[in-house]
Structure 1
């Protein structure tokens, strides 16, 4: 179970310096927050000189606090004409401030800043500040050129789960005597796992335990005069004289040209096109149908919401991260003038079975903020829904429904509009097979004609992905889902989507979308009367007024689509395993972990999203783009391994079934 977040308490000392009652220490030197950040962390890591003329530069920080180090780094990047193309700043915070408290404390701190621009940057940070739920949050600034990856949680637990290659390390936090866990050997061991070759570090602390931990984990240090008369601080670099880690941190994929082929223009494929184009990639999108979002992504509406479980399972954590990241990406599309069609009034989840009733009863103990989710009784739920309901449950204020096709079109349009974008969309092109040619993959159609070639190919074509990628260890199945459209009923007053044992979504014109059937291994696309009856009966258990709805003389309207699901109900996102190489080395790999597995160079997958494509697609696209670029991953490595397409290959190796 993920620990409940305890927010920081807003407090100040008599001299106006922000202070933590929890740790009994100040957040920065009374001589100046931004001056201290510049002296200790930027100059201590030879910045901005070290990031100049680099494409990507990554800073890792051990304690975010007020965000002063991030703001100082961001301001230095903005002021540097020779700056790196993309700046990543990764940090962890056990006790984050609530948004309004952060806004208030930064207003006080920036009032004393040496430059006026810090106030404007602080406002942007406060505006983008995530809600206080555990896990990793990805925030983008400067059109994505400055990315803040922020993990809310205990650094001792969070840092070992991060996956990145750090170029500079900011060792910050409350004093070792006040917060010894943040300076413990486990922290320095985690830093040694992700420090890049030649990575530097800096810290204001020169405590003996800190120096010993640095040396034990492969860091060289030197003492220099500290800030504002402080006797000493430490700077240095990662230069191990012996092997200190099993795996090397991620590197960008070596490519002659950053060109990727994306196969499939549904939710997964269109998100990939947008995320890659935003990074300046040339993208060729191939779709066998005549337009995007032709299959399951073409349903009239889909619901989006997190997943709440009593044990905060991996599925819940991944879905929470995907939901929050999707909201950010959709807001960015809105700002670019490519707004998808979606609702903004929230979503109700009714407690319709024993498991959901147990979740509802335990919801208050999870400590989630009300803006994320809160429980509602039957009367409160009815007031939100505008119709009679059979029970209460919980409410997601930021959940809702979206037109998936409008989202796909918005992402492709946004990708094509980026400065320097090179996006080619080719519809009506079925992919038959791939062949390796040197360092590139050649893509052929179903008649054997060469379509295109590129160093990277990403399969986002659901049911066809395993076939086209020639995967044996990708146990996916087709699930038939039939929707029902209800015209002119008492449910026309429904204000928000309602889910539980089925779902009901209000559409324009008083139409209600009810669904959906779940028929495994049934690929028939014909509408069936029993499917409509099943949909309406299940939804009527939640919305009793639907029981009185009369069947139209022409019969119920609806739509059938096929979902692609893996046997464990988790998506397949990331680099594909090399099954041929694994077979040849099966004995050695019998105890393999995901990072031990051989991978097929340049082949990736984003498929088997089931019914959660709306909340998984954007995060999955960001993860694959990060893997291609060697950037920090947007979620914890252990969660990425839960959705790794090679996980079934790993299980086969461990079971010695190869």
Structure 2
């Protein structure tokens, strides 16, 4: 669906290489491909020479090549999605939710004033979902909410000039993206138990150390050179790294979609499809076991 957006927001086909981190992991990757029998047009194994040619940078142990993988630019993509017909944004902070006597939900601010009303509400505010639902659902009814964990992290952006290396997404212990508009991106850090999400020099060093362990950094001319620019933010994650998507128990018309961790765009797109299917009584576009695992268990 995103491929029909304007050019700036449209995902770009570049492929992705999930790089093995050791010879033993490379063996496991090869075994998995044989056992699962996926079509080669979707994923195939590349040995170190093949992987290096594909990426334009040395990859010591090879990896899994996904030729159809896409990369997106979140700022442009999100702006385009928010501008689609049917999407309305209202600048208001919702502090509480209250059931309406004749059905539906009233959205209220910190002073208790109603800022909106709807038959159906999807709570999609990451870690703040715990606070917003605290007066409506007990921990016993929704224990998984108590396990939501905040994880801070940063990415590093380096001036890449005219370089086009790597030529695909490289993923391993961290990741490295093909340059765009003169900038290369590498990530990311995971910082539990911190008060702030900040981008700092320690984070830049951590990211470099992660990536340099499984890719030949000398082949990427911009990596670790020049002055890095940092971006930091928060993730909301569960213990099993799966999201929470489903109807809130015993609260008709109230839904939850959060805990996307590091995969917000992917999971949020699926959450929209799932909740839309449930609301309209359509077949659910996901495997039964996955739906069970991401439910509000």
Task: Report TM bin, short chain.
Answer: 0.7 to 0.9
Counterpart-to-counterpart distance in 1, 2:253 and 2:175:
39
Pick aligned residue for 1:633 from 284, 290, 295: 284
Is 2:205 the partner of 1:563? no
Is 2:45 the partner of 1:375? yes
Counterpart-to-counterpart distance in 1, 2:132 and 2:294:
19
The answer to whether the 8 A contact 2:123-2:257 is kept is yes
CA distances 1:93-141 after superposition (whole Å, capped 9, x unpaired): xxxxxxxxxxxxxxxxxxxxxxxxxxxxxxxxxxxxxxxxxxxxxxxxx
Is 2:103 the partner of 1:434? no
CA distances 1:348-401 after superposition (whole Å, capped 9, x unpaired): 110114456412343133211112111101111111111222220111111132
The answer to whether the 8 A contact 2:29-2:64 is kept is no
CA distances 1:419-456 after superposition (whole Å, capped 9, x unpaired): xx4x42113x2110011121121101233221011111
> 2:49 aligns to what SS in structure 1?
helix
CA distances 1:41-72 after superposition (whole Å, capped 9, x unpaired): xxxxxxxxxxxxxxxxxxxxxxxxxxxxxxxx
The answer to whether the 8 A contact 2:57-2:216 is kept is no
The answer to whether the 8 A contact 1:387-1:491 is kept is no
Matched residue pairs, number?
A: 285
Is 2:66 the partner of 1:396? yes
Q: Structure 1: where are the runs of 5+ without partners?
A: 1-328, 578-598, 648-658
Counterpart-to-counterpart distance in 2, 1:360 and 1:534:
29
Counterpart-to-counterpart distance in 1, 2:117 and 2:251:
16
Q: Structure 2: where are the runs of 5+ without partners?
A: none
Is 2:289 the partner of 1:620? no
1:346 maps to 15
Counterpart-to-counterpart distance in 1, 2:95 and 2:90:
15
1:533 maps to 205
CA distances 1:451-493 after superposition (whole Å, capped 9, x unpaired): 0111111011111112112253212011111101122489752
Q: TM-score, normalised by structure 1?
A: 0.41
> 2:33 aligns to what SS in structure 1?
helix
Counterpart-to-counterpart distance in 2, 1:449 and 1:338:
41
Post-superposition offset of 1:551: 4.8
Structure 1 segments (4+ residues) deviating >6 Å = none
Q: TM-score, normalised by structure 2?
A: 0.88
**Mapping of 1:507-656 within 5 angstroms?**
507-546=179-218, 551-552=225-226, 555-577=227-249, 599-645=250-296, 647=297
Task: Indicate how the Cα distance of structure 1 residues 340 and 451 shifts in structure 2: closer, same or farther if over 3 A, else same.
Answer: same
Counterpart-to-counterpart distance in 2, 1:550 and 1:339:
27
1:121 maps to none
Counterpart-to-counterpart distance in 1, 2:279 and 2:258:
17
Deviation larger for 532-541 or 467-476: 467-476
> 2:153 aligns to what SS in structure 1?
strand
Task: Indicate how the Cα distance of structure 1 residues 356 and 402 shifts in structure 2: closer, same or farther if over 3 A, else same.
Answer: farther
- Give the root-mean-square deviation of aligned CA atoms: 2.3
Is 2:136 the partner of 1:464? no
**Mapping of 1:481-500 within 5 angstroms?**
481-488=153-160, 492-500=164-172
Task: Indicate how the Cα distance of structure 1 residues 550 and 564 shifts in structure 2: closer, same or farther if over 3 A, else same.
Answer: closer
Pick aligned residue for 1:406 from 76, 79, 83: 76
1:506 maps to 178
Deviation larger for 373-382 or 612-621: 612-621
**Mapping of 1:223-242 within 5 angstroms?**
none
> 2:18 aligns to what SS in structure 1?
strand
> 2:60 aligns to what SS in structure 1?
coil
Is 2:15 the partner of 1:364? no
Post-superposition offset of 1:408: 2.1
The answer to whether the 8 A contact 1:492-1:506 is kept is yes
Post-superposition offset of 1:527: 1.7
Counterpart-to-counterpart distance in 2, 1:399 and 1:566:
26
Task: Indicate how the Cα distance of structure 1 residues 460 and 522 shifts in structure 2: closer, same or farther if over 3 A, else same.
Answer: same
> 1:506 aligns to what SS in structure 2?
coil
Q: Larger C-alpha radius of gyration, 1 or 2?
A: 1
Higher helix share: 1
